[in-house]
Every structure is written in structure tokens, then in C-alpha cells.
Structure 1
Amino acid sequence: MATKRIYSFGGGKADGNKDMKDVLGGKGAGLAEMSNIGIPVPPGFTITTDVCTEYYRAGKKLPRSLEPELRAALRKVEALTGKGFGDAGDPLLVSVRSGARVSMPGMMDTVLNLGLNDRTVEGLAARSGNPRFAWDSYRRFVAMFGDVVLGMKPETKEDRDPFEVILTAKKEAFGAAHDADLPVEALRELVSEFKAEISRRKKVAFPEEPFDQLLAAVGAVFRSWDNDRAIAYRQLNGIPAEWGTAVSVQAMVFGNMGDDSGTGVAFTRNPATGEDEFYGEFLVNAQGEDVVAGIRTPQKIGELQAKWADVSRQLLAAREKLEHHYRDMQDIEFTIERGRLYLLQTRSGKRTGLAAVRIAVEMAEQRLISREDAILRVDAEALNHLLRPVFDEAKKAAAVKEGRLLAKGLPAGPGAASGRLVFFAEDAAAWRAKGEQVVLARHETSPEDIRGMAAAEGFLTAFGGMTSHAALVARQMGKVAIVGCDALSFDYHARTMTVTRRAGGDVVLKEGHWISIDGLAGEVIDGRLETRPSEVVEVLVEKTRDARSAPTYQRFAKLLSWADGARRLKVRANADQPDQARVAVAFGAQGIGLCRTEHMFFGEGKIGPMREMIVAATPEERRAALAKLLPLQREDFRGLFVEMAGRPVTIRTLDPPLHEFLPHDEEGMRALAEATGKSVVHVEERIEELAESNPMLGNRGCRLGIAYPEITEMQVRAIFEAAIDAAEAGARVEPEVMIPLVGMAKELDHQAAVVRRVAQEVFAARGRKVRYLVGTMIEVPRGAVTAAEIARTAEFFSFGTNDLTQTTFGLSRDDVGPVLARYLEEEILAVDPFVSIDQDGVGALMRLGVAGGRATRPELKIGICGEHGGDPASVGFCHRLGLDYVSCSPYRLPIARLAAAQAALREAREAASKRRAGANGKRAREGRIARDAKAARNGKTRDVAVASPAKKRGGRRAQVRA
């Protein structure tokens, strides 16, 4: 059976409906549904996404067999409109629009007024009684066709649009301030001049035959699925390239017929705030692109009542009908042609995170949707908008207009911050101590920068990706960050940062210069922009606002309480310090899934003993240095246990290679030698001895503990002494000791033996015991493959997906920027695997690890502590994998809570759908059997397959006699 390629709509009925977005795209499905429910829609038809696939498979050629189907579909539109496509007397004009299954506003192309030529324009002028309107439509069509279909683009980035150049000259010649001021004579000249420019530049004549125009436009809209901006949008939003776009062809209605006509865009609720108000704009005597292009100042939708009272009533009725039908805020486009209202589009409206939460909660309370629908309605990632300090958008827009936008990078730590530029961590801490706000800017950051990063309002790096050190710390600390900003270069000696710009020349900024960074947009702005904390943070973290006076917080809390009731996965936080644990608890953490003990060594008074330990010449010297660190780590761990109040706390033993803790400049090495009583030569030799070509694959993790068991002993002693201290003070404790980078069971056996021996020593010395677990991170492929063996010792697994991704792909997350950029551009990868779990590769190893671990130890607790734990898609994958918890940065906990609930609800709905399908199938089979039996009783004979006990025993063909 041939696949249906074209679905018609209009005249109060349609072939399709709102549930056919995969086939008709969002626009086509919306047009079909509006037709079905009685909304006034100009008639037309939609060419399916399958045809887009055919188009690309055929080398960007439309299938020949499509042409007769197009002509047949056009005849239906002609019958409904009473106009003829290409008819010189009463021409039917059409729009040709793209429409993917998800909204991609402005990313693909549209052609309006198609069907005009030198004959039909005269017929349009005569039928409308408005020659100016006809020729205005013609000049718009020629320009749009030239741009979209024929590729009439500016020759360089600095050049203006070629049609705009001609139009500007024409307005000057006729003394016209706006396009609408041009007389018919000028518009006729523009059409001729536009065509001449096409011929000159493209060496082709403008096509006069309407059907040729249509075929060319359909092909061009399909091609726009692969234009640069569409590709970039797909990459940013995780939209698969294979989806393709549909194309909707629709009879034109005209908002530019005079003062009784107009066009507009509206939302059924405010998309910025979520307020239940009709929100939008319209223009009189204009076409749709005039609103979007901003070439004229539109009027507020509320002013429509004064202009067209009847149209306003119809539009408000359509608003109510559409929102109740779709049970969601809708984005609609409309045209008024000589006082008659038409809707050209409805789709789920784009909204801020603030608006998304408000709309979902209020619709649930209004009983438009269920609480489960409300949970599913909010993009989990959008909760970031409710947590971060923000810039005033009007002030930011003014700054950009003034030319103060310096550069763009990767938005790694959402929010906004302003501060004075500093280039060294110690300077950031010192300036902060003096009351200065600072932004730490560097080539890249390292663990040694942790104090400066804590002191800074945010950080900015030239290198690194979304899981680089700067990005990880930003999310954990709730700091604003932009990483991978390759327009930046640094002269640390001169204490300057140079911004290389494509236009306007380089900008050199000195230490102390004020800059502003927008972590939501990845934008670096010259000068200071004031920020304000989000309402949610004011209530939960800063405790400076009463929740009763914070409606945004109340809706946020309500939605997450519903989510907590729906999810199975627990959520933990990655936190290293008591203050981070406090924030984590405020955001709903059910434990700590990863405490990175190495971050503690950079606190006040700790780096010295740590370095002393590393350069020690003998085990005795090393133990003496570790003895200085013991009470410092013990106090940090005690603080974590107290803050978590009985929730599990997973503490990872030392992970990074030792050279990361050492200075590498001459001054630093001399200072270290003096502080430790060693010679500079000894320090240099030790640093050289520890140097590694590839630290990711070197002497780190459990390998350090095996080489220097005294390090593990000190850390474990600090953990259990802290646990007993906290327990004696009345706190419940649940420590979990995690050994990193285990790939072989004997590695874990070695370190677990150290843990258990020291635990018994501490328990004996203190006369008290605490329950604890020993487990491991699964972060190298061998660990996942041999999980069954490792689980004989491990009492829990935690997937360290940052490193597991690196070791699976053979890519360093800090050095892979150019590779990933190319792979994403070429669509070799659909999404950055350091942002969202690679479910086919890394995910396959995780499946092995779960299956192997639980085969040995069915009750094995399994979680994830890589940064993927805060990525909604990864959280959904972890739910399906049967993990017990995900752990992420404190400020991403609300995202993880919501994503976990969404995963559980989707799974439940899919199971219910399968049950319904099974029940329907059973009823259908029973119905067939009943019909066959009835036929038998009526004396007819035919061969049928009988579902009977006999068939179940071996199957038979039964001749039913009726």
C-alpha cells in the first residue's frame, strides 16, 4: 500500500490531527487540528516528513510521482477558495512553510505570495480593487523567492541584503519614510529591478510559471532543514537530523490589503511570566514577516478591541478554545483580511522557566491538566532560570546595542554576574577579602584555583568544555561560568586579557576592569551590569525572604513536591564542604553521592601539609605530614555528617595525580623547598618524577592508595573519627567510603582491606561503632565489564560517568573541544557525550555493570555521581537502567528531581498504553472469532485461522462451515 504523502485541511475538516506531528510536523498538525475543531483556517495541505526523507535520499530532488499528488491537492484548495492557481482573472496565491515535529522558530524558511507573475498580479489588482496591495505582494514574493529559493544572499558578511539595498534607494528616490509609503509606480519598478538583480547575480530568469515556483519552493524549504542555523538549533536542543521537516502549503490571506486588514502574533498566556493574560502584538496593513522583522512598531494586542471589536471577540474566543483543547499555552499567528479573522498557526508556546512553572501549576490548580501532566509539562532544564541571579533584560539589551558585547563562549554555569577582572586565584581571594566583586578569567582552571573560584562571582575560561574543571565547580558552587571562549587570550605577566573580535578590532582589558558574564547566554559584556538573586534562592539558601511573600518560590516548591511523590530515583548531591551540603539539603538532597576529598586540601592551611607529604623522602616523613592533615580532614567530614543529618554521605578517597598539587613555577618551587626544609633540587626532581604524559591514564585513584597506603589510612581514619564525633554529638551518620578508578577486583580488595582495618582500629580506640559501606566508582571500561567480580567486595557502585566517558571514547574532556565541535557540526555526534550520557556506548557499559554487579549482589546499591547526574536525558536513562540514585551539583538537584519524576511517569504511561493495546488486541481477536462463528451458523464456508485450544496445541487451519 502506497504511503500517503499529502494531507489536506480546510473547510471544517482535515485528513490529519494534532497527534500526527511525526508525519505532519507541528505546523501541519496544528493546522489540521484547528480545521477539525472549527477554527477559521485558510485551506491547504501538508507534505509529510517522509517526503523530506525521500528528498534527501534522492540527492535533494523531489520524487517525480509527487507532482500529480500536488496538483490534486491544489484542486481541493481551489474548490474551497473559488480561486485558480495561476488563473489570471482570480489567482490563488499560497504560502509555503516549514514545520518540524518540534518548534524551531525562525530556523527554517518560508515563501509567501507564491503564484504571482506578470499576469496574475494584474488579476489580483483587479479582483481586490487595490493595485498597490497587489504590487506590494509581488515585490515581497520576488524578494523572498530570490532569497530562499535562489540563494540571493549578501556577498560578504559586511554587505547588506541585495534587495534591501534596492528598496532603500527606491524609498530615497520617492521620499518615502517606510515601505508602506511607496506608490504603485515605485512597487512596479522594484519588481523589475529585483528580477534584473536576480538575473545579474544568479544568471537565471525569475520563473513565471506558478507550478514551477511551487516545486522550487517546496524543495527549498526541505533544504532549509540543513541550513546552518537549523543545524545549530538542532544541536543545541538535541533534535535528531533524521526527523526532517514537513511542508505546509496554504491559501494566502492578506493582512496588507489596507486599513481594514492586519496581522499579528499572540500567546494565550504571558510567555515571560506565565501570567494568565492574552499577550501579543499586531500590525495594521501588514504581512506576517513585518511583525517578526521589527521594521514597524506593532500595537499591543489589548488595543485590538478599539480597532476591530468583532475580530477581538473572535480572537479571544479562539484563545480560550485552543488553550482548553490543547490544555497548554499556545503561540498563535493570525491575519485579518478586510475584517475577517484567520488563524495561520497554533503551537505550544516557547516560555521561560519562570513562566513554565507558573503555567503548569496554575493549569493543574484550574483542573485543565492533572498534576502528572504539570510535572511532564515543564522542561526540567528550565528550572535553572528560577535559581540563578539574573540581569535586567532591558539594561542588558541597551548594553549590547551600545556595542559592549565582547565575546561568546559555552554557557557552563547559568546565571549572571559582574565583577572586576582578575587572573590569579590568590588575587581573587585577596580582592574578595577587601570587599571587591571579581570575575576570575584564565586559560583554564585547576583544583589549585578552588579558593579563588569560591571567592569569585564567576569564572571565564578560554579553554575547556561543559564538563571541564571550571564548569564542574561552577555548577557545584552555583557560580556563573563561561568556558571555551576562544576569542580570549591572556598575558599573565602584563595582567591583561585580549578579546579578538571579527569587527571593530581587538580589545585589551587590564586587571581590575569591570566585565559582566551571562551564563545563560554565554555572553561576555564590557562594563558592570547589576544582578539580583532569584526569588527561589532568596527563600531557600539566603533565608532573606519569607516564603509567603514569594509566589514564584511557592509554585516551584509545589511542583517539586508533586515530582517527589512521583519519582522512584533518589537524588544526592556532589558536595565537598559543609556549606555546600547545607545548600544541597535546602534543594532536596537525600544524601551526598560524591565528596571529592582533594578539594579539601586547598582550604586554609591545608595545601602546605599536602605538598609536604608529596615531597617527603621517606614513608615516615610522609606519615608526619599526613598527621597534620588528619585533623583538618576530620573536621570537614564531621561538618558534612552534621549537615546531612543521617543521610548517606559517600566520600571518595584521593583521586587526582599528586603533581596537580605542586607548584610548577620557580618561585613556587623555591617557596616549597624553604617550607619543607628540602633543597630546590629535591623539589624539582620530585616534580619531574611525578610528571605524566597523560594524567588521565596515570598514577591516580586507587593506584595512589596502593602505592601510598598511608594516604588511604589517613583519609579513612579521618572519616571514621569524624563519624563517631558526629554520632556522639547526637547526629545520625551513614558513611560510605568510595575507592576510585577501580578496574580490577584485586585493586578494590587491597583498598577495602585498608578501610576495614583502620575502621576497626578507630572503633576499638573510641569504643563505638558506626555502620558503613565500602564501594567503588565504575569509571573505566574494565570495571564495568568485570563488575560481577568486583561486587564480591563492593557494597555499592557509583558510575563516574565523566571519566567513564573519557576512557570509553579515548577523549580527554579538557582537550577535546575542537574534536567535539567538528563532530557536532558534522553530526557524527548528535549531542556532546560529556553533557548527556552516550547511551549506546557508555550506556552499554553501564548496563553491563548493573547486570554484573547485581548478579553477584542482588541488593547492590548503584548510583551515578558524574556531572551527567544533573542532565535530564541522563537521569531518564538512569531510571530505565534501574539505578537507585543520581548525584549532581547542588544547584542542579531540582532539575534531577523533576527529571526523575518525568522518567517514572513516562514509564508508567508507556506501560499503561501497552496494556490497553494488549486488551484491545484481545477484544479484536475475540470479535473475529465471534464473527467467524456467526458466519458458520449462517451456512458459509471459508478458511480461517481459529484461535482455539487445538490451535494452541500445535495450530491448525480449520474449515468453518456455515
Structure 2
Amino acid sequence: MAPATHGGRAKCLQRLARLDLPLPTTVALSFDAVHGLAAGEQPDMAQVLAPFEDGQLLCVRPSSEDPDWGGPGAILNIGMNDEQLASLSETIGAEAAAKLYLKFIQSYSTHVARLDPDIFDDLDNSDPDAVADFLEAYEDEAEEPFPQDRSAQLIGVLRSMARAWEGTTARLLRQAKGAPADAGLGLVIQAMALGVGHGESGSGVLQLVNSDTGLPQITGRYMSQSQGRDAMKSGAGALFLQKDARGASLEEKVPDAFALLTEYAGLMRARLREEMQIEFTLENGEIHILDGVRVQRSARAAVRIAVSLAEDKIITREEAVMRIEPRALNELLHRQVDSEAERDVIGSGIAASPGAATGRIVFTAAEAQACAARGEACVLVRRETNPEDIRGMHAASAALTERGGMTSHAAVIGRGLGLPCVVGATSMRFQIRKKRIIATDGRVFREGDVITVDGTTGNILAGEPKMMEAALDDAFQTLMSWADLSRDIGVRANADTPADATTALMFEAEGIGLCRTEHMFFEADQLIAMREVIFANASADRAVALQALLPMQREMFVELFNIMGKRPVCIRLFDPPLHEFLPTDRAGLRDLAESLNLPLSDVTRRVEALGEYNPMLGMRGVRLGITVPEILDMQARAIFEATLDACGDNEPFVPEIMIPLVSAKREVELVKTRIDAVAAAVRTERARDFDYRLGVMVETPRAALRAEDIAQHCNFFSFGTNDLTQMTYGLSRDDAGRFMSPYVQQGVFPEDPFHTLDQEGVGELLRLGAERGRRAQPDLTLSVCGEHGGSPESIAFCRQIGLDYVSCSPFRVPVARLAAAQLAIKDKLQ
């Protein structure tokens, strides 16, 4: 018997029987047998019923391969009929016997005969003639008497459960939970432990840990004179398990039974190697174990349970690491909407950055900063964000945009900041000028209204639901330390600011794999200087203007280097097109003209002249560095001077300088010559030697194809998979969200290529780039620094093609560390 043939419940009950736990007699039907029942095949009922005593009441429970896939509900008291009513009335009392019969009549009517459950609404269960009334109501509706033969009842129950599993609705529901289309169902037939009658009788559930925290705590409920999971449905008559000041407990009522149950639970934990929940029945004080199921748990509880089992030597550390789904760590790293909270969903979009946050709606970065100054939480709502919104995103609690995809500006910055973010929320209407958004159901939310952004699910909620706080506790730290012992690929963080670097260190990143220097230029004091550079007409004028930026850049790099210590820091040279630093509205142009002391007409003409039809494919990255080399010179000098300033009297560490958007060998030659000259000048001025590593960001298809030429001048390649995906597909990463869902649903793409690396197309370019690059430079360091670096599926591919490390947003570092460890452990086990 195995979960793949009879289901998880059947396998568990078999193991409990082998532990000599007090299980009622049980028979398990296989997936094939149940499929035959659904098709109309007649089982050998004599063989099925042979293990059970004549007249013994039965129950049937579903047994799917994975309990999360669900299944039809259990049906109890099969075999109950007029004869049994009379017999049981003498042994357990007329009231208890009637209770069993009424429960079965209602279950059978609804689930087997498919009658409307409201046929019993006007009947009184407590009436002495209730059984007769219920049987009459059944006969009137079904136009036949209630079946009295146990075998006939059982066949009806089995067939109805089999057909319910194979129905269209049930199939769609379980496929939504990840079940394969042909998932099978087993059925478990079990002798009834009645739970009603004389002496202490009842039912309940018990587990040894708290499902939310994973901490040791006996939890569950027990209710006298009940069956199945009645105790969990009804709080009124249920007892606590342990002694509790709030009310009566099973421990006080039946201490011997309580002690035995906890002993059984401990035995199941040790022998089944899992925290289990026991479903039990007491019958005149005698314990019957009906079922054992894996304890439901939150992500934080799952981590603590896995660590606890490993520390108790029940499982290995490697198995503890393998038991945690990497993406589930997001629940620990960020605040989340409580799983039991009511959700008033007003719209949805792409879940771009996990976590949830509540705040008042604001529509500009300035308003977000004003809210932060007042100590008020706010949600920044934009059609789409741009670099000028970064300060507002820093100030906001969450971000919501109408446009964008997984690698849009808002998504990338949100993940870097750990800011909950939903993008591409096209189900809502954004009326930015009127400062309002219109929900899917037509409700209007204006500036100042409170909403909640759930970046984990992609939902936008009205109001402020109950939240669960992030929890980076000792169990999390222990699990991650075990993961690091197993993984064989490095994990760095994308960090643009000292705050990002501090977060990266908190999550134990091995260095910075991508520092985007342009984000520094959007601070108010640097933005003015940057605009002076743009408006300078001659090289000498630009150099003078850049002198104002040099100390700011140098100070920022010193701080980064000091935070990271001896860990590697890879700095990408200036990348964005210049127009991103210029205003587009009339008021902004007027302010710019005033700050530069130029006529408004001159400023307007210059801004228009810098415009490009497709700026993301225009004069940016290395192209800007070659045509406006003064920016490149300033950045190189800031990096080298910061290297010496940060090391003090110690040996300087080696900074990594990355050239963006390379597509030709000659580009690298020109930039390298320029940087070498700056390095020589700084060595002479400071009378100190230092070294640096030069690399390129491979984000154009041509760079990957011509990697052998380009690598001759490089120490490392870092694949920028965000832009590489964009250019390979010819897709705008900011606009793809508008049609990506239909494309994935209709099978055009298996997944959003900006979310999960396209291994066949983009991955082929990575493979070619890696092979050809190392053909020219065998010791070439290879990495991925796009957002795919935090995707478990993408990390698997990176390991496969021999990359040295991945780099991702700081809050995705733990996910990448755990995913990389699991991949290494799987390889070792194969």
C-alpha cells in the first residue's frame, strides 16, 4: 500500500496499525477500485465487509495522495437502520441511538440520494418521533423507502464519493491546488467508534504544537457525546484538552485517557517523523484512534517544526532544509494579511513584491514624503513609477500601479526595498488627475482613504485587515545556517544604497552583485548637479559640473564598502538615458529653468532634443559612457578614491566595475582604456596601489553571442536577465503585464518570462554566453543579477550551466539561499 495507489490517509492508518495503536478495523480501497466504482462497476461487497462484524456501523473517509487536494466529506454511521435503532437503544440509550440514525439519514440524503437538505428544516431533532419524521420526509422526496441494508447503503456511499471526486467542479478545484488532472482517490472504510452512549464518550482532535508558531503546545478540542470533528465545529460544548483557567478540560475529566493520547502523539511524531494531529474517539473511556493527519501549519510554524525534528534527531538537517518551500519564506520576511482575516477585495494585479501593508492613498511622491513626516502610513498610487518616485517609495508603506509587470520599475524597486507592491492592476480604473481609483465593483476610493496592498497575492483590499508580523526567529536562522552548509552556488544581493546593503547583510548575502549607481543621482541635491551636467555644452563644462557629484558618489561608495567589509561589491556604471533626470510637465520645466538661470524656451528645446522614440534602446549604458565620457570618469574616480578611503591603512579590497548594455568588444576596449587612465591617476595622486576587476553586464543578445570576443577584456560576466529577456522576446517589461495572463493561460508561454527564466530562449543565450566567455577566459566569473536570481527554478538552471553566483533583491536572498541548498541536496541524493 502506498500514497500513490491508496492515498495518504490509507498509508498513514497502515503505519499507525503497525505501531499497535488502537485503530478500529479498517479496509482501504485503491485508486483503481474507486475509479471502477465511478464507472459503475460492482465491487465484491462480501469481500469488502468480511473483516467487519455483522451489524457493525461503518464510516467512509476519502484518501487522496495529497491531503491538500481535498475530497468528499466523510460519511458516518453507515449500517444504521430500524433494527440497529432498536438494538442500540437498549445498549447506549434511545436518545443516543436516535442521534446516530438522524445524522446518517441527513448525510445519506444529501450526499448519496442528492436530495435537497432543506427537506428536514421544519423537523425537530429532539422530538421523540424525529426518526419516523425524517424517514417519512426522505421517502416523500426520494419516492422510495430509506435503504435498510448495510451493504446497499455502503455501495451507495462509495459510488457517490467516487463520482463526486471525478466530477468537473471537483477536478477544477484540485487542479487549482496543483493536483494533476488524473489524480486518484482512495476510500477508507472503518468500523465506527460511536462516541455517544454511557460512560465518558465523545470525540476530539489533539496535536503537540501550535499551528501558527510551531512552538510546543498541546492544542485541540474534545466534546462529549459527539462524533468525527464535531468538537472543532462547536465551541459551546467543547472542552479544552489540558487544564485551562478558561474552562473544563479532558485532562481533568479523564486524566488517564489524556495521558495516553499525548503518549500516542509523541510516538507518532517519532515514528512517522512528522508533527501529527490525532483524531480520536472515547467510548466508555476507551480510546480509539481514527486518523492521523499532518498538522496544518503556517510558514513560520513549518520552519520551527522542521528544525525541532532535526534537533531531536528524528530527521536529518538536510531533510529539514528540504521540507520548507523556498517561496514560503516570504511569509516570515514580511508582514502578511492574517489568514483568518476578512478580505474586502476591491481589485487585483500582479503580485510584484511580497508582504502586505495598509495606508492612506496618496498620488505623488511628495505627498508620500509628507505623510511620512507626519508619521502616517500611506500607499503610493501611480499609473507607473519612474526614478523620480523613488523617494516617495521609500516613504510609503506600499505601492500600487496601473501598469507594469514583474520587472517594471515599481516591481524591482519594491522588492529591493522590501516594499509590498502590486503592479498592472488593470482590473481597477486609475483617475490620477481626479485623485481617485475605482474598484472592480464600482466603489470609489479617494486620496486619504485607507486601503491595503497585498503584494503576496496581488489583491488590493479596502480598509485595514488584521496582520501577521514578520518573524526572523532563532529557528529561521538555524535553518538558513544548515542551508548554507549544503549549497554550492553563491548568493549576493542587488543593493543600491547603504540601507539596502545593511538589509543584504542581515539576510547574510555574500556580497553585492549589482549596485545601480544612478539611483543615487535622484536625491534632491544630486539631481540638480546632474541636470547641470546634462545642460553643459562642452566637455570642460561637464567636468566642472560633475565635480559637485564626485564627493557625493565617493561618500556613498565609502559607506557601502564599510558596511560590506571584505565582501565583494559590484558597481554598475551609469545606465539610464539622460531624459529620466529631466521634468516633463510645465511646472517642472519652469523650476528647472529657474535653477539653471536659463530661459524657459532654451530648457524646453534641450529637453525635447534629448527625447528618444525608444529610450530603453537608445543612448544609455555604455553608449552614454562613450559619448559623454566625463560621467564615466567621475564614477571611476569616486569608486577608486572610496576604495582607498574605506580601507584606511589596511590592504585595499578589489572593487568590481560593471559596464552596462555592452554589445561589442570595442565598447569594452574604449571604456577599459578610460578607467585604466583614471586608476593610474588616482594611484599617482594617492601614492597607493590598488586593483579592480572589470566586467560587463550581458543584457543584449549580441553580447551573449559575441561573448568570446568580449571576454578577452573582462574578469566577469553578469547576465542582466531583465533586459536580456526584454530584448530576446521584443517585449516591453513595463507593458507585458497587460497581456501576459492570457498568454500564459492559453499556453503561448508556460510562465511569465520576466518572472521565471525562459530556459529555452533566454536560457540558451545564457548557456552560449557562458560557454563562449569561458572559452576565451577559463577563470571568468559568471553570474545572474536580474530578478531571476531570486527564482528557485531559475537558480536550478544557473547551477546547471555553471554560474558562480546569483544576485537578487535583499529580501529574496533567503529564498535564493534555501532554493540553492535544496538543489544541491537533491543532486547529492540522486
TM-score category, normalised to shorter length? 0.7 to 0.9
**Alpha-carbon distance in structure 1 between the residues aligned to 2:752 and 2:362:** 30
1:110 is aligned, of 72, 76, 95, to: 72
Deviation string for 1:429-476 (max 9, x for gaps)? 233234333332223322221111111222233443444332322222
Q: Trace 1:737-816 onto structure 2 (pairs within 5 A).
A: 737-816=657-736
Aligned-residue offset at 1:388: 3.1
Aligned-residue offset at 1:876: 4.1
- Is the 1:257–1:337 contact (alpha carbons within 8 Å) kept by the matching residues of 2? yes
- How many residues are aligned here? 807
* 1:673 corresponding residue in structure 2: 593
Question: Partner of 1:863: helix, strand, or coil?
Answer: strand
Q: Relative to structure 1, is the Cα distance of residues 315 and 408 closer, same or farther in structure 2, using a 3 angstrom cutoff?
A: farther
**Alpha-carbon distance in structure 2 between the residues aligned to 1:96 and 1:785:** 59
**Alpha-carbon distance in structure 1 between the residues aligned to 2:46 and 2:766:** 56
Q: Relative to structure 1, is the Cα distance of residues 34 and 601 closer, same or farther in structure 2, using a 3 angstrom cutoff?
A: same
1:142 is aligned, of 100, 109, 113, to: 109
Aligned-residue offset at 1:218: 2.2
* 2:43 corresponding residue in structure 1: 71
- Is the 2:195–2:203 contact (alpha carbons within 8 Å) kept by the matching residues of 1? no
Deviation string for 1:200-227 (max 9, x for gaps)? xxxxxxxx88657645542431446864
Aligned-residue offset at 1:649: 0.6
Q: Is 1:80 aligned to residue 27 of structure 2?
A: no
Aligned-residue offset at 1:507: 3.8
* 1:634 corresponding residue in structure 2: 554
* RMSD between superposed Cα atoms in Å: 4.0
Q: Is 1:458 aligned to residue 401 of structure 2?
A: no
Question: Partner of 1:879: helix, strand, or coil?
Answer: helix
**Alpha-carbon distance in structure 1 between the residues aligned to 2:457 and 2:234:** 22
Aligned-residue offset at 1:124: 6.0
Q: Is 1:355 aligned to residue 292 of structure 2?
A: no
- Is the 2:76–2:104 contact (alpha carbons within 8 Å) kept by the matching residues of 1? no
- Is the 2:575–2:620 contact (alpha carbons within 8 Å) kept by the matching residues of 1? yes
* 1:563 corresponding residue in structure 2: 483
Greater shift in the superposed pair: 564-573 or 336-345: 336-345
Q: Is 1:380 aligned to residue 326 of structure 2?
A: yes
Q: Is 1:650 aligned to residue 570 of structure 2?
A: yes
- Is the 2:202–2:283 contact (alpha carbons within 8 Å) kept by the matching residues of 1? yes
Q: Relative to structure 1, is the Cα distance of residues 627 and 66 closer, same or farther in structure 2, using a 3 angstrom cutoff?
A: same
* 2:62 corresponding residue in structure 1: 97
- Is the 1:387–1:534 contact (alpha carbons within 8 Å) kept by the matching residues of 2? yes
Greater shift in the superposed pair: 843-852 or 219-228: 219-228
Deviation string for 1:103-130 (max 9, x for gaps)? 42xx5431543997xx985566566553
- Is the 1:409–1:484 contact (alpha carbons within 8 Å) kept by the matching residues of 2? yes
**Alpha-carbon distance in structure 1 between the residues aligned to 2:161 and 2:705:** 53
Counterpart code for 2:567: R
- Is the 2:669–2:713 contact (alpha carbons within 8 Å) kept by the matching residues of 1? yes
* 2:149 corresponding residue in structure 1: none
Aligned-residue offset at 1:140: 1.8
Q: Trace 1:872-891 onto structure 2 (pairs within 5 A).
A: 872-891=792-811
Q: Relative to structure 1, is the Cα distance of residues 311 and 495 closer, same or farther in structure 2, using a 3 angstrom cutoff?
A: same
Q: Is 1:184 aligned to residue 131 of structure 2?
A: yes
- Is the 2:708–2:773 contact (alpha carbons within 8 Å) kept by the matching residues of 1? yes
Aligned-residue offset at 1:723: 1.9
The percent of aligned pairs where both chains have the same amino acid is 37
Aligned-residue offset at 1:660: 3.0
1:319 is aligned, of 265, 284, 295, to: 265
**Alpha-carbon distance in structure 2 between the residues aligned to 1:139 and 1:724:** 82
**Alpha-carbon distance in structure 2 between the residues aligned to 1:594 and 1:694:** 24
Q: Relative to structure 1, is the Cα distance of residues 269 and 805 closer, same or farther in structure 2, using a 3 angstrom cutoff?
A: farther
Aligned-residue offset at 1:648: 0.9
**Alpha-carbon distance in structure 1 between the residues aligned to 2:700 and 2:333:** 34
Q: Relative to structure 1, is the Cα distance of residues 289 and 658 closer, same or farther in structure 2, using a 3 angstrom cutoff?
A: farther
Q: Trace 1:406-555 onto structure 2 (pairs within 5 A).
A: 406-407=346-347, 409-501=349-441, 506-511=443-448, 513-520=449-456, 524-527=460-463, 534=470, 536=472, 552=473, 554-555=474-475
Q: Relative to structure 1, is the Cα distance of residues 222 and 725 closer, same or farther in structure 2, using a 3 angstrom cutoff?
A: same
Q: Is 1:30 aligned to residue 12 of structure 2?
A: yes
Greater shift in the superposed pair: 823-832 or 892-901: 823-832
**Alpha-carbon distance in structure 2 between the residues aligned to 1:195 and 1:808:** 64
**TM-score with structure 2 setting the length:** 0.85
**Alpha-carbon distance in structure 2 between the residues aligned to 1:776 and 1:146:** 70
Q: Trace 1:594-633 onto structure 2 (pairs within 5 A).
A: 594-616=514-536, 619=539, 621-633=541-553
- Is the 1:46–1:249 contact (alpha carbons within 8 Å) kept by the matching residues of 2? yes
Deviation string for 1:477-518 (max 9, x for gaps)? 2223344444543333333333343xxx6142333x344445
- Is the 1:31–1:41 contact (alpha carbons within 8 Å) kept by the matching residues of 2? no
Counterpart code for 2:375: G
Aligned-residue offset at 1:680: 4.2
Aligned-residue offset at 1:617: 5.1
Ranked by relative contact order (alpha carbons within 8 Å, sequence separation 6 or more), the top structure is 2
Aligned-residue offset at 1:251: 1.0
**Alpha-carbon distance in structure 2 between the residues aligned to 1:532 and 1:247:** 35
**Alpha-carbon distance in structure 2 between the residues aligned to 1:185 and 1:786:** 86
* 1:540 corresponding residue in structure 2: none
Counterpart code for 1:272: D
Aligned-residue offset at 1:585: 1.9
- Is the 2:37–2:43 contact (alpha carbons within 8 Å) kept by the matching residues of 1? no
Aligned-residue offset at 1:700: 3.5
Question: Partner of 1:245: helix, strand, or coil?
Answer: coil
* 1:232 corresponding residue in structure 2: 176
Counterpart code for 2:811: Y
Counterpart code for 1:793: H
Aligned-residue offset at 1:784: 3.2
Question: Partner of 1:605: helix, strand, or coil?
Answer: helix
1:714 is aligned, of 625, 634, 639, to: 634
**Alpha-carbon distance in structure 1 between the residues aligned to 2:615 and 2:135:** 70
Q: Trace 1:37-436 onto structure 2 (pairs within 5 A).
A: 37-39=19-21, 40=23, 42-48=25-31, 71=43, 75-82=46-53, 90=55, 95=60, 97=62, 99-100=64-65, 102-104=66-68, 107-113=69-75, 121-122=81-82, 125=85, 130-145=97-112, 163=117, 166=118, 170-171=120-121, 173-174=122-123, 183-185=130-132, 187-188=134-135, 191=138, 211=155, 214-215=158-159, 217-223=161-167, 227-234=171-178, 241=180, 244-254=182-192, 258=196, 262-286=202-226, 288=228, 298-302=238-242, 303-306=249-252, 312-334=258-280, 341-343=287-289, 345-389=291-335, 393=338, 397=341, 400=342, 406-407=346-347, 409-436=349-376
Question: Partner of 1:777: helix, strand, or coil?
Answer: strand
**Alpha-carbon distance in structure 2 between the residues aligned to 1:647 and 1:180:** 78
Aligned-residue offset at 1:656: 3.0
Counterpart code for 1:752: K
Deviation string for 1:867-899 (max 9, x for gaps)? 232334433443344322222222332333333
Deviation string for 1:595-624 (max 9, x for gaps)? 011211111312223334345555555444
Q: Relative to structure 1, is the Cα distance of residues 174 and 145 closer, same or farther in structure 2, using a 3 angstrom cutoff?
A: closer
